[in-house]
């Protein structure tokens, strides 16, 4: 559904899934605990070998996020003078991508529909293009409501979510409107660490695969190197969020943990 004619292929999210191994998709909260530290943590992820970075936009009502990410969003909004929201997150992504150069992993913003609409959809899309951001993940924007955004963001990737409760008809729509990859939510509920992966995860990934030709990345509850190795055996990508955000106040810890995740991905 997306127009790829005018975009630098290196910025597209699909590049992360073309390396011959499952993609490690890592999440950080922009501006947490400070802008400078979050920028350093972005570089730590790139240096560790992350294949794609999700950069969270601090937002007051993050309905899909659990306590770790909610707390980081609140602190980011309060810690940075003048607040920290969508515009500041796009500027942070631009600085990271400029500093990291052509070898930087592609970046997707994870945000909500309200910040997009407040800034204005065409303005957001233009700002993302100028920053070099590859696309967005918007958990509260179902495919049925995405028309205005998809028209504004025609050459940006938009990733939709498939859940354990998604019907075949819903999976068909998610596959039709997604670009870059399909985000497979491992279990019901909000983001956050889990002790074990759901027993039915393999079957869920298989259902999503049957509906799309795009790569399928699994997120929500992927917390340990053991989880990463297990998911890498059944999916095209593994998304790790809260377990990294917990370490985000120390970029050296982000680097060390992300390096462990990369090793787990590679030995799967």
Percent share of the chain, pLDDT over 90: 82
- Is residue 2 predicted with pLDDT exceeding 60? no
Measured between its terminal Cα atoms, the distance across the chain in Å is 33
Q: What pLDDT is stored for residue 7 in this prediction?
A: 53
pLDDT grade for 79, boundaries at 50, 70 and 90: confident
With 80 as the cut, is the pLDDT of residue 191 above it? no
Tell me the C-alpha distance between 237 and 183, whole Å.
9
Three-class SS string for 141-155?
CCHHHCHHHHHHCCC
Contact 105, 148 (CB under 8 A): no
Q: What is the mean pLDDT of residues 76-95?
A: 92
241, two tokens: 């969020």
pLDDT of residue 4: 45
Query: Averaged over 21-46, what is the pLDDT?
Result: 97
Q: Provide, rounded to the nearest whole percent, the portion of the chain with pLDDT above 70.
A: 94
Inter-CA distances, 164 with 120, 185, 238, Å: 32, 7, 16
Residue 140 is among the residues annotated as catalytic for this protein: no
**Nearest-CA neighbor of 135 among 235, 1, 33, 18?**
1
Catalytic site residue from 65, 88, 155, 157: 65
Neighbours of 121 (CB within 10 A): 16
Overall pTM > 0.85: yes
Residue 83 — pLDDT band, cuts 50, 70, 90? confident
Cross-strand partners of 108? 54, 135
Q: Which of the following is catalytic: 51, 54, 155, 157?
A: 54
pLDDT of residue 42 exceeding 70? yes
CA angle 205, 142, 192 (to 5 degrees): 55
- pLDDT score recorded for residue 82: 78
Q: Check if 3 is active-site.
A: no
Mean pLDDT of 231-252: 96
Residue 180 DSSP code: S
Of residues 193 and 27, more confidence is placed in 27
Mean pLDDT is lowest, of 34-38, 68-72, 227-231, 264-268, for: 264-268
Q: Does 3 score more than 60 pLDDT?
A: no
Confidence band (pLDDT; 50, 70, 90) for 6?
Answer: very low
Q: How many CB atoms lie within 10 A of CB 163?
A: 17
């Amino acid at each position: 559904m997306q127009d790829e004619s005018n975009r630098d292929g290196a910025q597209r999210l699909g590049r992360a899934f073309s390396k011959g191994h499952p993609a490690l998709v890592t999440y950080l909260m922009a501006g947490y605990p400070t802008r400078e530290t979050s920028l350093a943590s972005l570089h730590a992820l790139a240096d560790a070998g992350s294949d794609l970075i999700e950069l969270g936009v601090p937002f007051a009502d993050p309905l899909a996020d659990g306590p770790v990410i909610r707390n980081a969003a609140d602190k980011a909004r309060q810690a940075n003078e003048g607040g920290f929201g969508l515009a500041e997150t796009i500027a942070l992504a631009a600085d990271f991508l400029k500093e990291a150069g052509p070898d930087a992993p592609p970046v997707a913003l994870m945000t909500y529909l309200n910040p997009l609409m407040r800034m204005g959809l065409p303005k957001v899309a233009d700002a993302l293009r100028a920053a070099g951001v590859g696309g967005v993940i918007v958990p509260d924007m179902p495919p049925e409501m995405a028309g205005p955004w998809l028209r504004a963001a025609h050459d940006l990737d938009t990733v939709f979510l498939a859940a354990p409760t998604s019907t075949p008809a819903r999976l068909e729509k998610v596959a039709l409107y997604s670009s870059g990859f399909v985000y497979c939510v491992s279990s019901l509920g909000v983001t956050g660490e889990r002790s074990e992966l759901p027993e039915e995860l393999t079957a869920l990934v298989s259902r999503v695969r049957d509906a799309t030709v795009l790569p399928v990345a699994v997120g929500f509850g992927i917390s340990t190197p053991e989880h990463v190795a297990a998911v890498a055996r059944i999916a095209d990508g593994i998304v790790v969020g809260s377990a990294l955000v917990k370490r985000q106040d120390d970029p050296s810890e982000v680097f060390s943990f992300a390096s462990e995740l990369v090793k787990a991905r590679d030995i799967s």
